[in-house]
Amino acid sequence: DSGVTQTPKHLITATGQRVTLRCSPRSGDLSVYWYQQSLDQGLQFLIHYYNGEERAKGNILERFSAQQFPDLHSELNLSSLELGDSALYFCASSRGQGSIQPQHFGDGTRLSIL
Amino acid sequence: AQSVTQPDIHITVSEGASLELRCNYSYGATPYLFWYVQSPGQGLQLLLKYFSGDTLVQGIKGFEAEFKRSQSSFNLRKPSVHWSDAAEYFCAFNQAGTALIFGKGTTLSVSS
């Protein structure tokens, strides 16, 4: 158990809809990262938050957004969903920003778009 | 461009045999290097990491990896594979505190 909790584990929805994925980091971790894992693209970094502030963006679509709340949990919002958004979405957390502490991953949310 | 290459998409090893999974990185400086393992339906579990110092690092589950700067490689090894090691293995690197850049992964199958 990594200590990172992601909910829900599975999500099935239709094209055009909007969903919210939730992540609770390990106790004491201030950084939250979101990654997308798909068969064609592999594991790709989406966005990084540190202590409530956005720190870096990767290959994140404009239809996607995220935030980190004062209690440090994070949410990834996906809107106007397309078939190609079907993927496994991982959250990871680490102690700080600019530290050498490794990232610890949750079990992911599997998103299926019908 | 920064990248990680795992040349082997799929490897099959007999139970009890040794294992080596290859990883090469492309980066201007010495990166922080990691190996993660993903079992079906599971998240990624950190096996080991290299930041600096001794180039041979020990990890969990009997795995080790060797950093070779001259070859830009960070290969993962295990002397004797168990059936429970069947999974997908990812090599990754980053600069401290930034996003991980992953390889495409190597799927390990273990035959009896």
Better-predicted residue by pLDDT, A66 or A59: A66
Partners of B5 on chain A (C-beta within 8 Å) are none
Instruction: Tell me the pLDDT band of B42, cut-offs 50, 70 and 90.
Output: confident
Question: Using an 8 Å Cβ cutoff, are B86 and B38 in contact?
Answer: no
Nearest to B97 among A58, A90, A99 (CB): A99
Cα B52 to Cα B32: distance, rounded to the nearest angstrom:
8
Give the mean pLDDT of chain B: 93
Q: Which residue of B has its CA nearest to A107?
A: B43
Nearest CA in chain B to A98: B97
**How confident is the model over A83-109, as pLDDT tens digits?**
999 999 999 999 887 667 789 999 999
DSSP result, chain B = --EEE---SEEEEETTS-EEE--EEE-SSPPEEEEEEE-TT--EEEEEEE-SS-SEEE-GGG-EEEEEGGGTEEEEEESS--GGG-EEEEEEEESTTS--EE---EEEEEE-
∠ CA B38-A94-A6, rounded to 5°? 55
